Amino acid sequence: MTPFQRRGRARLVICLVLAITFGLVSGTLAFAVSQKEELEIGRQVHRQLVAQGVIFNDSIVDQYVRRIAKRILKAAGPQSYPFHFYVIRSDGLNAFAVPGGYIYLHTETINSLQNEGQLAAILAHETAHVTSRHFARRQEAGKKASIASLAGILAGALLASGGGGGQNAGALGQALMLGSIGASIQSMLANSRADESEADRKGRDYMVKAGYSPRDMYGAFKVMNDRSYHLSSEMPNYLSTHPGLAARMASTFADQANKPPAPQDPEYAAIRDRVLAYSAQTKRARSVFQKRLETNPNDAAALHGLSLIAARELNFNLANEFMAKALKLDPNNAAYLVDMGDIALRRRNPEAAVDYYVKSRAKYKDLSSTLGLARANELLKKNKEAANLYDEALEMAGDDYPVVQEYAGRFFGQYGQMAKGHYLLSKYFGNVGQLKQAIFHCQTAMKEAAGGRYKISCEQNIRDFEEIMKESKG
């Protein structure tokens, strides 16, 4: 098989994985692939998700999730490639894994779970799907589904999931799915249920080794089972959300059904509040926080949530008012300090922003405070300090936060480091899927006086981008 054929097959698999995730029919369906191909598929899936703007890029939430994931991965043992964990903006109660160690958690899942252990359970289950290589083991199921069938499933899933066109489009999407799936879907799902049971067993083992209670996996699944959204009543059972979940709870976790619920988890509650404020419909989120304030006017977390909602609505004066009250009640909260710095920046007060970011970094030096401080120093024309901070933020961010590459690229280009600036912008545009712009900035970077240091990387990136663009036209 030629590289082009392999990439073409990978693109087909990408579409299928995006359309049929854990939340729609559970498990993974694909052709048998090597680990190298799995890595490439995962990278391309992630690039498409970034390009669609669905990644929930909040470093405070991400660091919390990845800290838990690190414990799970340590329990799972050495792996042949690195894992990546991300949060997706979605009001569906879901989590899913794609090849190459890419695991995604929906914001509504965080909003619905009750504690860190339950979140660890979801991450452990999805990690087990990857370590078991369920994707690669779908060879026979993949062979039974024709390209036309897979295309129909993809088109139907996109329409049925509300991709546009209103209720008629959703009904058409369901019809396309049902017409395309045919008899082959039954054999696919029969295997996926076996995969789910294996992921349950392995996931339970991982989370226990990581120091979490198995009752939290039962609790997480109960939340998913009780609160899962449903497709149309006309959809057949084999397309139901989380197939066999109730039965799996009664088997793998029967010994946990009567265990007492987990205790309150203030740290998880703070993360859940943050995700709710940034991701849920503002009317819903505001109602939650306002009701809490009616019960306790000194609920700093509720005031903080209202501040984040006001900032979402670009009402920065109101956001500042709520955040000042929250900080008065909890003056040493690093997250509140960095959020107050962000508000100060949006209110065009970089001097105040610097003060908040410095205080936050004194408690916890994270990406948000580092990037914020870099931007504030840039606005104050303190270019040396800004350059050092942007470099620090770039190292922290890697490729997970393209916005850092964008801010830093524009800064370095504006202040004389043209090759570096264009190179960073090429990485930014490549990571968000705007490949023509990525190629332009790579080509420009290599033409600059100091562009030699980026030549090898840019030439490889340009080849990759051009091949992807060629495939998308084909």
Q: Does residue 192 belong to any structural domain of this protein?
A: yes
Task: State the pLDDT confidence band at 248, using cuts at 50, 70 and 90.
Answer: low
Task: State the pLDDT confidence band at 345, using cuts at 50, 70 and 90.
Answer: very high
Measured between its terminal Cα atoms, the distance across the chain in Å is: 17
> DSSP letter at 102?
E
> DSSP letter at 237?
G
Q: Which two tokens stand for residue 387?
A: 């350059």
Residues 31-88: tens digit of each pLDDT: 455 677 777 777 777 777 777 778 898 999 999 999 999 999 999 999 888 899 999 8
Q: Does residue 106 belong to any structural domain of this protein?
A: yes
Q: What's the structural domain count of the chain?
A: 1
Asked if 136 contacts 30 with a C-beta cutoff of 8 angstroms, the reply is yes
Residues 367-397: tens digit of each pLDDT: 999 999 999 999 999 999 999 999 999 999 9
Place of tokens 């505001």: 286
- In angstroms, rounded to a whole number, what is the distance separating the alpha carbons of residues 470 and 197? 40
Q: Which residues contact 294 (CB under 8 A, 6 or more apart)?
A: none
Report if pTM > 0.75.
yes
Q: Does residue 316 belong to any structural domain of this protein?
A: no
Q: Does residue 82 belong to any structural domain of this protein?
A: yes
Provide φ and ψ at 132, rounded to 5°. Answer: -85, -5
Please name which of 354, 358, 423 lies closest in space to residue 408, comparing C-alpha atoms: 423
Provide φ and ψ at 137, rounded to 5°. Answer: -85, 5
Q: Which residue range(s) make up the domain with 36?
A: 3-256
Q: Does residue 194 belong to any structural domain of this protein?
A: yes
Q: Which two tokens stand for residue 231?
A: 């497709």
